Structure 1
Amino acid sequence: MLARCLSASIQGMEALPVTVEVDLAPGLPGLQLVGLPDTAIQESRERVRAALRNSGFRGPLVRVVVNLAPADLRKEGPAFDLPIALALLVASGQLDPKRLEGLCCAGELGLDGSLRPCRGILAIACQAKIQKARAFVVPSANAAEASLVAGLTVVSANDLRQLVERLRPGIKRKSATQQKNKKTAQTGTTSSPKPSPSEALDSASPRVQHLAQKALAISAAGGHHLLMVGPPGCGKTMLARQLPKILPPLSDAEALELTRLQSIAGTLDSVTNLVQQRPFRSPHHSTSAAGLLGGGRNPRPGELSLAHGGVLFLDELTEFPRSLLDQLRQPLEEGVLWLSRARLRCAFPCRVTLVAATNPCPCGWHGDPSNRCRCSELQRQRYWSRLSGPFLDRIDLQCRLEPIPTSQLRHCLTETDSRTNNSLSADVIHQARIKMCKRNPEGLLNSQLSAMQLGRFGSIEEAAFKCWEQVVSKRQLSMRSSLRLLRVARTIADLEATSSVGKQHVAEALCFRCYDLVPGAMP
């Protein structure tokens, strides 16, 4: 007898439909899996047998062939345990075939028949809705996540016996878990709370780092990449960790995409709502290329994609391998990372705000008036040669941080004037983003505008254009750097609630291009 059950396989950010076919035929007892299964699926033979036996069902005493169609698509993961078990029950006559029609199933089985959660459920749920599945069957631990997809009936259970009992009389109502999340499922979204107007940079931020705080506000408003250079202990890491706090809340589409991404990566905790906070990822400089960018035979997202919609913080930037940093150039420019393998090519979103921090030299004290630098000019040039010109060219904001004077250390323990600085508040940054998104029909941030869009929607005054041309000629900036200079000037004008970009905005944007000349003469 032949039985079928719908499921899906994760490929990149998508879940591709898979049909699980089970055929029972006379012959020696055994279970054979075909259809390019990985090791985890091959091992499901023993899990399914034990789960059926310990749940009180008969194991098939005939030859069993399980086909995962399409046969040319590589499948991986234990999520096929549940559809294989249900199809076996139908093929052996222990479950009515009509109860399995139109169902999409995913879940891992324990040897005792318990249903265990698996990754990528949100993506599979979206695919189930596309297939117009009658219901989506998942473990109870994944039910809340699956219920985030609007208009999809979710059936959940704690073990195989309980699930079969629910399926036998037919599906007449949604599971209790989905009823609990009905409001969320109807909208498919859960927005983050709007930031308080008084929310600004953390009170521990040093008062003396006004330029760095302004650079942080510009970065948050326009989505510009930021490089902070300064001696040890001047507050680079502390300032970088404040950036997610002043970023505007996630939109509904961003929250859904981020939740789906984390579900595929397996980093999503038990969830009843969409991810509400923007991510902050800080990989160590010893991270491999696969860990930072993503990889594997069946690719999974890396730190770059897991920071999508948030902040990727690279501390000790010059300690990262130069070849690894250069691999970030194209994804940072396009906001999408493409990973190609022999059998597939998939894309992971990576629209991040890059924040990097480094010391000015190997000893860390170059330019510090109170500490003597022990590095030679050649050592400093070699130090900065770890960063390629094209990589630095893609960083809009380059800011030098000065050491904190002893007289100002006490202010780090008290409330700072950043809370009274209106230009640094989260509400002002949120309003600036609203303006820039309304200004162009595609709703892009200033950092995402093309040259033509910048000229059309930038509202740049003639005096600002002349100042910009003089700066580009004098500093010999590349086309990319010159356009990024204008984008930063546009963001500064938005923070000041100015409709047009003036000469003063271009001049201020130029203050954040400190390291265009490295390696070579260092400021």
Structure 2
Amino acid sequence: MLVKVFGAAVHGIDATLITIEVNIRRGIKFMLVGLPDASVKESHERIVSAIEVNGYKFPRQQVVVNMSPADIRKEGSAYDLPLAIGILGASGAIQSTKFNDYLIMGELSLDGTILPIKGALPIAVMAKENGFKGLILPFENAREAAVVDHLEVYGVKNICEVIEFFNDKRKLKSTEVDIYREFMINQSEFEFDFSEVKGQENVKRALEVAAAGGHNILMIGPPGSGKSMMAKRMPSILPPLTIQEALETTKIHSVAGKMSSNASLMSRRPFRSPHHTISDVAMVGGGAFPQPGEISLAHNGVLFLDELPEFNRSVLEVMRQPLEDRAITISRAKFSIEYPAGFMLVAAMNPCPCGYYNHPDKKCVCAPGAVQKYLNKISGPLLDRIDIQIEIVPVPFEKIADKTPSESSTEIRKRVIRARQIQEERFTKTAGVYCNAQMTSQLLHRFVSVDESGRRLLKTAMEKLGLSARAYNRILKVSRTIADLEGSENIKTAHLAEAINYRNLDREMWAQ
């Protein structure tokens, strides 16, 4: 008897429909075809055990399983459940006409317990697009998949529930999630707040500008000056995620298996802080079984790189192209996958190996030339891609001991949101551009105009600091953001001067 059930294969952050055809005929052999990997082939033993432990019989005949389309590689253990249901349907243990209405995914343990899978959200999106009535998957993944409207999502804990459902002996309860309610409740809940930061007003101002325009920022200063402390508070002043951004971010984390049990839609911007020993593949993604890297997991959020010069040179260099294109393409001999990588880079570093160059109180003990050599670990092209470079000095005792609360993240966030709204209106007719940091050269000429005094200031800065053409464009973008924060339509000389001041770590000037 021939039976068809349906599953899905996840490639990148999207899913592809997989048709599982099961035919049972005379013989004693089990055959699984359709380009399955080793973990899919091993499903035979898990399926046999799960079926027999729960009181059913695995057919003692020839079982032929074809996973179509046959040219797409099937990976992982999530095909256990649809394979088991297909085999039971072909053997007659399940009598059902509902197989065409449901997409099934789940990993089986030996006792029939259904274990969680990766990529539940993109699978649910694909199921809806292909007209399926419902989706059957592990209980732990049900809330994640239920964010897709107009799709019945059934979370199950044991294979018996699925068998009885198709045999009309059990009704499954559909999982429902009020994504808008949960989305709004969690948007303003943050562990850290800028009200806890004493002093450092100039740095907080730079972070506000960075958040308002989506600019990359580098903080450089001695140990204990508050670099990591302020970086961790960046998500609290960024604008709230939109529903579309939340869906896209959740899909990436779902594919990577980073969603917690019973989680639904991500409502806060991600904050990723990889250790400096990370490999380039872990940073950008890839591997034998391609997975999103840290730059994709930080999509629509913040990627914080602490101790920037300590990162391997190759890791930093592979970030150059994603910083410009906001996406990363993983190419292999037989396939190519693209992951989004629209992150905001926040980096921190010491000014020198000992950490006390330019310190107001402590003396730097580094050898001559060590400061420049330390900075040279960060290439010029990467430094050019960092819009804001701000130097931090230690907070004096009077500021630390002051009990007066600093400005809260909520107040800063209000100004950031107003500036972003101005940018959204500006780029309404420009697809793929949502903030000033994403402006192309063409958009710069269109939306950024500088008067004569501003041009003279820019010329002087270019000549004295030895800035590149890319750094020139970065200054214009940052000055546009500063003007937006003030609600100014025109860019003033003061806006340009502040933007130029945020390039104070360029090579011609630093460590002289």
TM bucket normalised to smaller: over 0.9
Q: Note if 1:277 corresponds to 2:264.
A: no
Report the counterpart of residue 475 of structure 2 in structure 1.
485
1:457-487 Cα distance to aligned partner (Å, 9 max, x none): 2354454344334433443321211011000
Report the secondary structure of 2:97's partner residue.
helix
1:348-387 Cα distance to aligned partner (Å, 9 max, x none): 1111111111111111111113111111232222211111
Could you tell me how far apart the structure 1 residues matched to 2:487 and 2:129 are? 44
Identical aligned residues as a percent:
39
Report the counterpart of residue 123 of structure 2 in structure 1.
124
Could you tell me how far apart the structure 2 residues matched to 1:37 and 1:79 are? 12
Q: Note if 1:233 corresponds to 2:224.
A: yes
The one-letter code of the counterpart of 2:416 is I
Shift of 1:521: 4.9
Could you tell me how far apart the structure 2 residues matched to 1:36 and 1:380 are? 55
Report the secondary structure of 1:249's partner residue.
coil
Change (3 A) 1:67 1:482: same
1:425-445 Cα distance to aligned partner (Å, 9 max, x none): 111111111111111223520
Report the secondary structure of 1:74's partner residue.
coil
Change (3 A) 1:400 1:145: same
Report the secondary structure of 2:478's partner residue.
helix
Report the counterpart of residue 439 of structure 1 in structure 2.
426
Change (3 A) 1:201 1:146: closer
Q: Do 1:200 and 1:426's aligned partners in 2 also have CA atoms closer than 8 Å? A: no
Shift of 1:325: 0.2
Could you tell me how far apart the structure 2 residues matched to 1:189 and 1:242 are? 22
Could you tell me how far apart the structure 2 residues matched to 1:491 and 1:269 are? 36
Aligned residue among 424, 439, 444 for 1:454: 444
Change (3 A) 1:464 1:74: same
Report the counterpart of residue 8 of structure 1 in structure 2.
8
Report the counterpart of residue 291 of structure 2 in structure 1.
300
Shift of 1:96: 2.2
The one-letter code of the counterpart of 1:408 is K
Change (3 A) 1:336 1:364: same
Report the counterpart of residue 324 of structure 2 in structure 1.
333
Could you tell me how far apart the structure 2 residues matched to 1:359 and 1:15 are? 43
Report the counterpart of residue 198 of structure 2 in structure 1.
206
Report the counterpart of residue 348 of structure 1 in structure 2.
339
Could you tell me how far apart the structure 2 residues matched to 1:311 and 1:6 are? 37
1:401-428 Cα distance to aligned partner (Å, 9 max, x none): 01222333313xx343334x99x61111
Could you tell me how far apart the structure 1 residues matched to 2:50 and 2:510 are? 69
Change (3 A) 1:266 1:62: same
Aligned residue among 312, 329, 333 for 2:303: 312
Q: Do 2:187 and 2:268's aligned partners in 1 also have CA atoms closer than 8 Å? A: no
The one-letter code of the counterpart of 1:12 is G
Change (3 A) 1:288 1:272: closer
Report the counterpart of residue 19 of structure 2 in structure 1.
19
Deviates more, 1:51-60 or 1:32-41: 32-41
Shift of 1:168: 2.1
Could you tell me how far apart the structure 1 residues matched to 2:406 and 2:135 are? 53
Could you tell me how far apart the structure 1 residues matched to 2:440 and 2:343 are? 17
Q: Note if 1:373 corresponds to 2:336.
A: no
Aligned residues: 509
Report the secondary structure of 2:345's partner residue.
strand
1:270-314 Cα distance to aligned partner (Å, 9 max, x none): 245310111111111001112211121221011111111111110
TM-score by length of 1: 0.92
Aligned residue among 153, 178, 183 for 1:190: 183
Change (3 A) 1:170 1:455: farther
Shift of 1:14: 1.3
Shift of 1:192: 6.3
Shift of 1:75: 1.3
Report the counterpart of residue 242 of structure 1 in structure 2.
233
1:322-343 Cα distance to aligned partner (Å, 9 max, x none): 1110100000111101111122
Q: Do 2:141 and 2:263's aligned partners in 1 also have CA atoms closer than 8 Å? A: no
1:36-55 to structure 2, matched below 5 A, reads 36-55=35-54
Could you tell me how far apart the structure 1 residues matched to 2:91 and 2:390 are? 69
Report the secondary structure of 1:308's partner residue.
coil
Q: Do 2:120 and 2:254's aligned partners in 1 also have CA atoms closer than 8 Å? A: yes
Report the counterpart of residue 83 of structure 1 in structure 2.
82
1:155-210 Cα distance to aligned partner (Å, 9 max, x none): 33221111121222399x8x5342x42x44xx7993566659xx995223121x12
Structure 2 unaligned blocks of 5 or more: none
Could you tell me how far apart the structure 1 residues matched to 2:194 and 2:248 are? 28
Could you tell me how far apart the structure 2 residues matched to 1:492 and 1:49 are? 65
Report the secondary structure of 2:407's partner residue.
helix
Q: Do 1:3 and 1:97's aligned partners in 2 also have CA atoms closer than 8 Å? A: no
Aligned residue among 173, 193, 198 for 1:176: 173
Q: Do 1:109 and 1:115's aligned partners in 2 also have CA atoms closer than 8 Å? A: yes
Aligned residue among 460, 466, 469 for 1:476: 466
The one-letter code of the counterpart of 1:27 is G
The one-letter code of the counterpart of 2:506 is D
Deviates more, 1:426-435 or 1:468-477: 468-477
Could you tell me how far apart the structure 1 residues matched to 2:449 and 2:264 are? 40
Could you tell me how far apart the structure 2 residues matched to 1:269 and 1:354 are? 25
Q: Do 2:96 and 2:166's aligned partners in 1 also have CA atoms closer than 8 Å? A: no
Q: Do 1:200 and 1:425's aligned partners in 2 also have CA atoms closer than 8 Å? A: no
Deviates more, 1:255-264 or 1:398-407: 398-407
Report the counterpart of residue 212 of structure 2 in structure 1.
221
Structure 1 unaligned blocks of 5 or more: none
Could you tell me how far apart the structure 1 residues matched to 2:135 and 2:44 are? 23
Aligned residue among 489, 494, 497 for 1:504: 494
Shift of 1:257: 0.7
TM-score by length of 2: 0.94
What do you get for the CA RMSD once the two structures are aligned?
2.3
